[in-house]
Amino acid sequence: MSNTVFSAVQPSGVPTIANYVGAIKNWVNLQNEYDCIFSIADLHTLTVKQVPAELRARTLELLALYIACGVDPEKCVLFVQSHVHEHAELTWILNTITAVGEMQRMTQFKDKSLKHAENINMGLMDYPVLMASDILLYNVQYVPVGADQKQHLEIARDLAMRFNARYSDTFIVPEPIIPKLGARVMSLQEPSSKMSKSDENVNAFISMLDSPDDIIRKFRRAVTDSDSVVRYDEQEKPGISNLMTIYSVFTGEDMDAIKARFEGKGYGEFKQQVGEAVAEGLKPIQDKRAELLADKTYLLSILKTGAEKASSIAFRTLRKVYKKVGLLQL
């Protein structure tokens, strides 16, 4: 049985602490326990119009951020999605066993169609099939996902089972890993919505590159409630619960300890302390990222090695798939 984990993040802008807490920080822990394959999903970004030079720059910047956060190229396979052509090729094969209705029902397709009504393209609809290909190419057993991403993994599981039933066992059916804490960091302005780097309100999210002053200012403005008690209650106190989750991730303290620490102190001091903890946690990451970006040759060498490793696995999977579906091989 494979003990492989796969995950990817799009280079579509500077990640937020939600991306860090929900994905990248967990990768650092996973790489010590599993055979990890981590990708920069640049093909996925093309569903929305991109400025080519900016996309190339953001791809290297995201790699530098991965490493600065503790993702170790010596412990995992780290590569750019478009450097491994098998991703696109397997997508075509899986498209032939995917129903149009399945894609039209996907929550993300419906949401993005509303946001980008002028550009409802086939890539936007086909996004989950490419995501399934990303996963299934590597005989992946586990996929770390946020609570809101389970629908995409379900498509990957469905396509794996459907292909296996039609052509005999080929793909491992992947299982989710959902972090118990921090899997879903919410907006600082609308705690009922997920924190997003595309939010029009810059006070709603914390960028991984925000300055300490900006971080503390945004937390001071975070929406809470009319109460003044720091306690965890997602239903009654979603804003405070979100801040407690963030504080816990950056300090290591559990909810009971946080509640005790801020008992009788009110929201003002709590929000200040959350901001300071996040700013302190991000500074070494920001410094290391800047250092790595000064050595482009090193970053490209990591991507070259990663692409070679990923391609070796992906080629074997795709060759097996082509044979199963009846394509004549040379």
CATH number of the domain encompassing residue 37: 3.40.50.620
In the block, tokens 């990663």 appear at 306
Residue 143 and residue 107 share a domain: yes
Q: Look at residue 280 and tell me if it is in a domain.
A: yes
Examine the domain organization and report whether 304 and 252 are in the same domain: no
Q: Is residue 252 scored above 80 in pLDDT?
A: yes
Check residue 82 and report its DSSP letter: G
280 and 216 in a single domain? The answer is yes
Exposure string of 221-256, with b = 16+ CB inside 10 Å and e = fewer, is ebbbeeeeebbbeeeebbbbbbbbbbbbbbbebebe
Q: Where does the pLDDT of residue 1 fall: very low under 50, low under 70, confident under 90, or very high at 90 and above?
A: very low
Mean pLDDT of 3-20: 91
Say yes or no: 105 and 238 in one domain.
Answer: no
- What CATH number should be reported for the domain holding residue 264? 1.10.240.10
142-144 and 175-177: which strand pairing?
A: parallel
> What span, in angstroms and rounded, lies between the C-alpha atoms of 248 and 281?
12
Our answer to whether residue 324 is catalytic in this structure is: no
Domain of 267 in residue numbering reads as 202-290
Longest CA span, the chain: 74
Write out the DSSP string of 203-236: GG--BTT--HHHHHHHHHT----S------BTTT
In tens, the pLDDT along 224-245 reads 988 889 999 988 999 999 999 9
Please pick, among 25, 110, 197, 296, the residue that the annotation labels catalytic. 197
Instruction: Reply yes or no on whether the pLDDT at 74 is more than 50.
Output: yes
**Is residue 127 a part of any domain in this protein?**
yes
Q: What is the pLDDT of residue 67?
A: 97
Query: Considering the domain boundaries, does residue 195 fall inside one?
Result: no
Distance (Å, whole) CA 212 – CA 286: 11
135 and 255, same domain (yes or no): no
Which range has the worst mean pLDDT, 77-86, 174-183, 223-232? Answer: 174-183
Read off the pLDDT of residues 261-276 as tens digits, 9 standing for 90 and up: 999 898 999 999 999 9
Does residue 123 form part of some domain?
yes
Active site residue 323: no
**Residues 16 and 95 reside in one and the same domain:** yes
pLDDT in tens, 294-329: 999 999 999 999 999 999 999 999 999 999 999 998
Measured distance CA(73)–CA(15) in Å, rounded: 20
Residues 301 and 269 in one domain: no
Tell whether 191 is covered by a domain: no
Into how many domains does the chain fold? 2
The answer, as to whether pTM is greater than 0.85, is yes
Pick the closest to residue 188 from 206, 208, 200, 212 (CA basis): 206
49 flagged as catalytic = no
- What are the φ/ψ torsions at residue 143 (nearest 5 degrees)? -130, 115
Set 49, 75, 194, 309: catalytic member? 194
- Helix ranges (H only) for the chain are 17-19, 25-30, 42-45, 52-68, 86-95, 100-104, 107-115, 122-136, 150-167, 212-220, 238-251, 255-261, 266-293, 296-325
Residues 283 and 302 in one domain: no
| Identity of the residue numbered 107 | T
Full strand arrangement of the beta sheet holding 35-40: 76-80, 35-40, 4-9, 142-144, 175-177
Residues 307 and 271 both lie in one domain: no
Angle between helices 296-325 and 150-167 (to 10 degrees): 40
The residue annotated as part of the active site, out of 75, 110, 112, 218, is 112
Whether 253 and 301 share a structural domain: no
